[in-house]
């Protein structure tokens, strides 16, 4: 039976219809890390499926038709009570005087929480008046509405369109004495963001009231926060709170895909500000507020007619004209809010405990947590392993909640990024030449040099000292994660070594891919470094699974997969022998570097997949019955996916990378040093025992993750360049010298 957990969180509005509908109270609403409520199913669920059936996001319902629209001013008693023209106070009073109940959003607990509540007396109504720009918690109010309706009481329910739709779905039938009002909603900000804003402006003072639409200076958006000591904080329409709200930064994700932001409405009545009314008739804007009233049903028209005596001025406006005006002045009637690129950045900073203004500043200025430097660009001749290790680092850090982008190398135009880069949503910096790479300092807190062979002389010839972060100033954190010197035959020559040492000693934290690199850092460069795993070990397995599913060519059945960077006729013959011996279909892929046409020709009898995509490589590494590889990353993925494998050690490209993993996990017995061993060494053909090995891989993966997160979260400081790892700020050394 389908349940509410089939709904994507990106579409859940938090309306709580499912909570109210559950016959055994097996649903609770829990806040996520951003402060938004989502349904969670408890163990005593009876699988009745009612929660899914009442979900408006899963089962869209018919909308109201034949809307009649008006510009309206309430009378002098009611107009000041509302955010715009004062229509809602008129309607609410009318229902109470008929012995009914009015439901709307009211602040509780020192204005820290907004909840939907019922009002049964006139004196209870003011708490429901005016717009409140934070998501309200409906809780069990739908059940309360139903109880009031069953008693025969007239009910007026006001809320966001998703809440109105949720109520109607929960009720399951029409009630003649229920009238619903959906508000013209721009979207709902996070309660956590709202409270962080209050924390900042209150500075510990008790709050007595919050008014999002103070009319002291006329119709507009002015936040008024009043404190117990009588002081008041004002935040204007262009202040921090409204900036985050109007831009969509503080908004619930579902609001960015809102199905209700359209002319066809769900409520009997729609109420909102008639922004842009002066474009209809200038005399309709007297700076005191004008309501837009949409009567969407006969019940709505009836209620609007019933308050005629409380209306000072009204005029029917053609709905087509209203929509035309709204396209420029009140888009909530025609489309959802655009999704801001830096929304995740905003919430990440709030989750870290940053102030509201700091989170907003980082999001507005597109200041990101981390810029990754590496061989991440996919080209017709790029290295698959480089692309995958950069992807893995980017994805892992993003999953950890950091805002991340790739630093474009000097002269690179991100418009020319490869298909893989674009399909996976890479954020990339703008194009700068070598002299202007320092512009990147404006947009990042920290810079991370990623994995693969980046610290060697040939790379410097092509990219200058970019991989040593020469463009990063001293105020920004510099980290190297799983970086490699590669084959030491390509180490920096003596004439550039002083420059290299000076740059590498500016790094705050260094971790390298090979044990050999730890020694090189200590002995040749005078810095402390630690060993960590390649980023491909860090990434959540779900990403590799998703990537594998995107492969166009998927080999069926059991197969031997050969991922060969440097194939030769001898290797091809050995692969065919092994496949025959194991009675497996043979499939192979080679890389795109260094004579790719010749490599394909060499492997033509080995089931080679010409022009293989990254997705196809991952699919075959993940699903092979047995893997033979001379690739370091082929080796890594064999372990990540817990495959049976043998490694033909590729010492021409650098043996240290293979030796490090072999020694770390005590698996050198899977190495073939000679080509003939591929088919002849029976020990290499045995299944890999992952009983202990998996635990060791998990331990090292966890250790590597912790090292990286600690490096990112640590305070920025300048260390003594002695190669020691005590990590004390230089000021301590200076004080020690001063004090003798």
pLDDT at 740: 33
Query: Residue 198 half-sphere exposure, CB side, CA atoms within 13 Å?
Result: 25
| Largest distance between two CA atoms of the chain | 98
- The pLDDT tens digits of the residues spanning 35-73 come to 999 999 999 999 999 999 999 999 888 888 889 999 999
519 and 619 housed in the same domain: no
506 and 617 housed in the same domain: no
- Asked whether residue 38 is assigned to any structural domain, the reply reads yes
Helix, strand or coil, per DSSP, at residue 666: coil
Query: Which of 515, 537, 559 is the endpoint of a domain?
Result: 537
- Asked whether residue 261 is assigned to any structural domain, the reply reads no
Distance (Å, whole) CA 158 – CA 141: 12
Q: Classify residue 419 as exposed, middle or buried by CB count within 10 Å of its CB (0-12, 13-18, 19+).
A: exposed
CB 564 within 8 A of CB 541: no
492 and 566 housed in the same domain: no
Q: At what angle do helices 87-97 and 298-306 cross, to 10 degrees?
A: 90
Helix, strand or coil, per DSSP, at residue 23: coil
C-alpha dihedral over 683, 647, 542, 384, to 10 degrees? -160
Distance (Å, whole) CA 449 – CA 438: 15
513 and 617 housed in the same domain: no
Distance (Å, whole) CA 71 – CA 671: 80
How many CB atoms are located within 10 Å of the residue 243 CB? 17
Query: Which of 688, 704, 733 is the endpoint of a domain?
Result: 688
Q: What angle do CA 591, 592, 597 make, to 5 degrees?
A: 105
- Asked whether residue 89 is assigned to any structural domain, the reply reads no
Domain housing 617: 548-688
Beta-bridge mates of residue 361: none
Distance (Å, whole) CA 511 – CA 509: 7
C-alpha dihedral over 406, 408, 409, 415, to 10 degrees? 140
Query: Which of 488, 517, 537 is the endpoint of a domain?
Result: 537
587 and 525 housed in the same domain: no
Helix, strand or coil, per DSSP, at residue 116: strand
- Asked whether residue 476 is assigned to any structural domain, the reply reads yes
DSSP code at position 138: -
395 and 531 housed in the same domain: yes
Distance of CA 390 to CAs 1, 578, 579, Å? 41, 33, 32
CB 418 within 8 A of CB 377: yes
Instruction: Provide the number of structural domains found in the chain.
Output: 3
CA dihedral (212, 216, 220, 221) positive or negative: negative
How many CB atoms are located within 10 Å of the residue 81 CB? 18
- Asked whether residue 609 is assigned to any structural domain, the reply reads yes
Quote the tokens at residue 39.
């349904």
- Asked whether residue 666 is assigned to any structural domain, the reply reads yes
Instruction: Supply the pTM of this predicted model.
Output: 0.73
Spell out the residues 6+ positions from residue 700 whose beta carbon is closer than 8 angstroms to its own.
Answer: 533, 537, 664, 665
Q: Where are the alpha helices (DSSP H) in 22-178?
A: 50-53, 87-97, 141-150, 161-171
**Rg from Cα positions in the chain:** 32
How many CB atoms are located within 10 Å of the residue 525 CB? 24
- Asked whether residue 8 is assigned to any structural domain, the reply reads yes
| Sheet of 232-235, strand order | 207-211, 223-227, 232-235
CB 165 within 8 A of CB 61: yes
pLDDT at 710: 98
Distance of CA 80 to CAs 73, 290, 521, 538, 615, Å? 10, 11, 71, 58, 61
451 and 572 housed in the same domain: no
517 and 421 housed in the same domain: yes
391 and 462 housed in the same domain: yes
Spell out the residues 6+ positions from residue 351 whose beta carbon is closer than 8 angstroms to its own.
Answer: 33, 34, 401
From the list 615, 607, 576, the residue with the least C-alpha distance to 589 is: 607
pLDDT at 460: 82
526 and 620 housed in the same domain: no
475 and 504 housed in the same domain: yes
Quote the tokens at residue 583.
């009675």
Looking up residue 652, the CATH number of its domain turns out to be 3.40.50.2000
pLDDT at 158: 99
pLDDT at 698: 98
DSSP assignment of 554-570 equals ---SSEEEEE-SS--HH
CA dihedral (34, 36, 41, 43) positive or negative: positive
pLDDT at 729: 34
381 and 475 housed in the same domain: yes
pLDDT less than 50: residues of the chain: 718-740
pLDDT at 717: 56
Distance (Å, whole) CA 262 – CA 64: 11
- Asked whether residue 274 is assigned to any structural domain, the reply reads no
Beta-bridge mates of residue 27: 41
């Amino acid at each position: 039976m389908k349940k509410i957990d089939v709904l994507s969180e990106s579409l859940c509005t938090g309306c709580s219809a499912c909570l109210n509908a559950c016959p055994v109270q097996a649903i609770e609403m829990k806040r996520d890390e951003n402060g938004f409520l989502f349904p969670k199913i408890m163990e005593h669920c009876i699988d009745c499926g009612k929660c899914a059936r009442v979900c408006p996001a899963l089962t869209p319902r018919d909308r109201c038709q034949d809307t009649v629209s008006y510009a309206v001013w309430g009378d002098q008693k009611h107009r000041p009570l509302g955010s715009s023209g004062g229509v809602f106070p008129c309607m609410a009073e009318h229902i109470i005087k008929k012995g009914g109940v009015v439901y709307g959003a009211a602040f509780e607990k020192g204005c820290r929480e907004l909840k939907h509540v019922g009002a049964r007396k006139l004196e209870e109504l003011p708490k429901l008046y005016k717009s409140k720009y934070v998501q309200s918690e409906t809780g069990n109010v739908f059940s309360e509405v139903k109880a009031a309706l069953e008693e025969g009481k007239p009910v007026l329910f006001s809320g966001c369109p998703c809440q109105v739709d949720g109520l109607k779905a929960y009720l399951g039938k029409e009630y003649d004495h229920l009238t619903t009002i959906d508000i013209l909603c721009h979207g709902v900000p996070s309660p956590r963001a709202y409270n962080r804003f209050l924390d900042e402006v209150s500075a510990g003072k008790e709050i007595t009231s919050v008014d999002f639409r103070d009319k002291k200076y006329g119709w507009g958006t002015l936040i008024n926060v009043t404190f117990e000591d009588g002081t008041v904080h004002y935040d204007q329409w262009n202040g921090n709170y409204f900036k985050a709200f109007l831009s969509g930064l503080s908004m619930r994700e579902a609001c960015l895909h809102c199905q209700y932001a359209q002319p066809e409405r769900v409520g009997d009545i729609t109420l909102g500000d008639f922004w842009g009314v002066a474009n209809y008739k200038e005399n309709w804007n007297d700076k005191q507020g004008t309501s837009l009233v949409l009567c969407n049903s006969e019940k709505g028209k009836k209620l609007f007619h019933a308050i005629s005596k409380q209306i000072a001025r009204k005029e029917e406006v053609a709905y087509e004209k209203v929509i035309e005006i709204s396209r420029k002045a009140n888009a909530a009637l025609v489309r959802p809010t655009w999704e801001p690129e830096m929304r995740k950045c905003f919430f990440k900073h709030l989750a870290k405990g940053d102030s509201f203004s700091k989170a907003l500043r980082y999001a507005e200025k597109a200041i990101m947590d981390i810029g990754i430097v590496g061989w991440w660009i996919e080209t017709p001749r790029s290295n698959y392993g480089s692309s995958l290790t950069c992807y893995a680092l980017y994805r892992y850090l993003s999953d950890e909640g950091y805002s991340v982008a790739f630093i474009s190398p000097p002269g690179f135009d991100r418009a020319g990024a490869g298909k893989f880069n674009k399909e996976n949503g890479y954020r990339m910096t703008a194009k700068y030449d070598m002299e202007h790479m320092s512009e990147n300092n404006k947009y990042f807190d920290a810079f991370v040099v990623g994995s693969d062979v980046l610290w060697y002389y040939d790379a410097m010839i092509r990219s200058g000292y970019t991989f040593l972060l020469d463009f990063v100033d001293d105020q920004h954190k510099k980290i190297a994660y799983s970086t490699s010197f590669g084959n030491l035959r390509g180490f920096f020559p003596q004439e550039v070594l002083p420059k290299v040492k000076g740059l590498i000693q500016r790094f705050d934290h260094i971790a390298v891919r090979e044990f050999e690199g730890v020694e090189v850092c200590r002995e040749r460069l005078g810095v402390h470094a630690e060993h960590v795993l390649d980023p491909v070990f860090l990434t959540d397995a779900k990403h590799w699974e998703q990537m594998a599913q995107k492969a166009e060519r998927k080999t069926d059945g059991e197969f031997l997969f050969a991922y060969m960077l440097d194939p030769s006729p001898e290797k091809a013959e050995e692969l065919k022998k092994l496949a025959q011996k194991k009675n497996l279909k043979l499939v192979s892929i080679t890389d795109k570097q260094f004579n790719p046409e010749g490599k394909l020709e060499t492997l033509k009898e080995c089931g080679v997949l010409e022009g293989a995509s990254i997705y196809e490589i991952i699919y075959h590494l993940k699903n092979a019955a047995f893997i033979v590889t001379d690739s370091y990353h082929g080796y890594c993925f064999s372990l990540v996916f817990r495959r049976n494998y043998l490694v033909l050690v590729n010492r021409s490209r650098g043996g240290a990378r293979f030796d490090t993993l072999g020694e770390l996990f005590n698996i050198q017995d899977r190495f073939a040093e000679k080509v003939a061993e591929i088919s002849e060494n029976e020990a290499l053909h045995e299944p890999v025992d992952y009983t202990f090995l998996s635990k060791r891989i998990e331990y090292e993966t966890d250790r590597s993750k912790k090292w990286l997160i600690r490096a990112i979260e640590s305070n920025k400081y300048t260390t003594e360049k002695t190669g020691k790892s005590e990590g004390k700020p230089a000021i301590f050394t200076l004080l020690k010298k001063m004090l003798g």
